[in-house]
Amino acid sequence: MAFIICLFIKITLFSVFTCSANAQLSPFYYSRTCPNLQFIVTNTMRQAISKEPRMGASILRLLFHDCFVNGCDASVLLDDTTTFTGEKNAFPNINSLRGFEVIDTIKSNVEASCSGIVSCADILALAARSAVFLVTNTNLPPPTANLSTLISMFATQGLNARDMTALSGAHTIGQARCTTFRDHIYNDTNINPTFATTRKATCPGPSSGTGDDNLAPLDVVTANRFDNGYFQGLLTRRGLLHSDQELFNGGSQDGLTRVYSFSYVAFANDFANAMIKMGNISPLTGLN
């Protein structure tokens, strides 16, 4: 839990230090205006994940797809209209992103408690935070961070290879459709043959014309728990996606992947730091 609290505090402080001059943001704003906010979000997410364990990963992915298009502004939630074409039905998202109804439910529950206070962008970020918390192995040691370290990171711009490797660790939860990993299990050579055979059993070859929507876990070690099992699987060539296994394929990220596979704390710290930097992608502040 400490890791997730740390991550939430980092994101909140990031907003304060980067935007306070324009909008006078405060990390205590919701504690005054919507004191039950975190409880409402976490409780609703707990119910959603209880019904479908995969939903935690879906909400985290929803936040990623929102942030990587001009910042974390909840624009991915907007429906298309006759005069507006948004992100929700763009090619990488259509029939792929999930969890919109969960965000709708959270929004409704929050509005019932404190109407017109909490933005959709903050609801999506808080939902993702709660999703990770609810599927984290709390027996693992949490990372540490102090305020001076956090402040120094807020000036950092852009995502580097280390950040992207850490963010890829979000694949430690969730599943992928056969159509996204079929080419890897049938055509790539950097894959454990036994693992490939297992996956082929539920993901028929392209000539079959079937199975596109069949699911498989992205993390073969601990599929429903946020830990470092994803990286452990990569070391044995059991990455489900081509892009997953590229993190351990004789390239520049092999060493870091090994570190993450041995140390959850190292991964958790880097993941939290990368989440901050992701949140700093083209943020609009003040009158903008």
Q: Mind listing the pLDDT tens digit for each residue in 247-277?
A: 999 999 999 999 999 999 999 999 999 988 8
Set 65, 171, 184, 242: catalytic member: 65
pLDDT of residue 92: 81
> For residue 76, what are the CA distances in angstroms to 11, 47, 79, 80, 123?
19, 23, 8, 10, 13
CA distance 282 to 34: 27
Q: Of all residues in the chain, what percent carry a pLDDT higher than 90? A: 65
DSSP annotation of 205 reads -
pLDDT of residue 141: 52
Is pLDDT above 90 for 150? no
CA distance 151 to 261: 28
Closest-CA residue to 255 (of 161, 141, 135, 133): 161
Q: What is the mean pLDDT of residues 147-176?
A: 73
User: Helix, strand or coil for residue 17?
Assistant: helix
Judge contact between 101 and 73, C-beta under 8 A. no
pLDDT of residue 136: 86
Is pLDDT above 90 for 103? yes
Question: Can you give the pTM of this predicted structure?
Answer: 0.79
DSSP annotation of 154 reads T
Instruction: Calculate the CA 99 to chain-centre distance.
Output: 13
* φ, ψ dihedrals at 123, nearest 5°: -60, -45
pLDDT of residue 147: 32
DSSP annotation of 219 reads -
Tell me the pLDDT of the chain averaged across its residues. Answer: 85
Instruction: Calculate the CA 48 to chain-centre distance.
Output: 16
- In sequence order, the 6+-apart residues with CB closer than 8 A to the CB of 269 are 143, 144, 145
Q: Which residues pair with 216 in a beta bridge?
A: 176
Q: Mind listing the pLDDT tens digit for each residue in 232-252?
A: 999 999 999 999 999 999 999
Number of other CB atoms surrounding residue 186 within 10 Å: 15
pLDDT of residue 285: 67
Report the sign of the C-alpha dihedral through residues 248, 175, 54, 106, in that order: positive
pLDDT of residue 93: 85
CA distance 191 to 48: 34
Told to judge if 65 belongs to the known catalytic residues of this protein, a careful annotator would answer yes
CA distance 219 to 227: 10
